[in-house]
Amino acid sequence: MAVKTTPKKSTAAKVPAAAKAEVVAEVIAARDVLKKKDIVDRAVGISGVKKKDARPAVEAAIRVVFAALAEGNEINLPPHGKIRIVKDKDVPGGKMITAKIRVTTGAAKIPADVPLAETEE
């Protein structure tokens, strides 16, 4: 003997697709784009060095990170986190890289006076 069941109606409120698109657009628009100038300014604020001295060091560090990623290397920067390449593909004008970035909890709150590397003397 077969038992007939009727489908239950959903009690969740239906949200129009246009409303969902607006929410997604707001989330994307809320993100800031950090430019090289902003990174240099933040580095100057943290380190206290003059901007003219910080700029070449910051630019060199950015070049090192991007060159390492282009070569397929994983980047590990304790205590901040790590970057691991998931896949890469050559495209006209460069390389498309998909990466997983793990940011350590509290990485943004690490005090500026904590050295990230051992000093050489």
pTM: 0.61
Rounded to whole angstroms, the Cα distance separating 12 from 20 reads 15
- Which burial class, exposed, middle or buried, applies to 89 when counting CB atoms under 10 A from its CB (0-12, 13-18, 19+)? exposed
List all residues 6 or more positions away from 36 whose beta carbon is below 8 Å from its beta carbon: 58, 59, 62
Q: What is the pLDDT of residue 104?
A: 86
pLDDT for 25 equals 58
Q: Which helix (H) or strand (E) holds 70?
A: helix 51-70
**Positions in the chain short of pLDDT 50:** none
Output the pLDDT for position 64: 96
Q: Pairing between strand 75-77 and 94-103?
A: unpaired
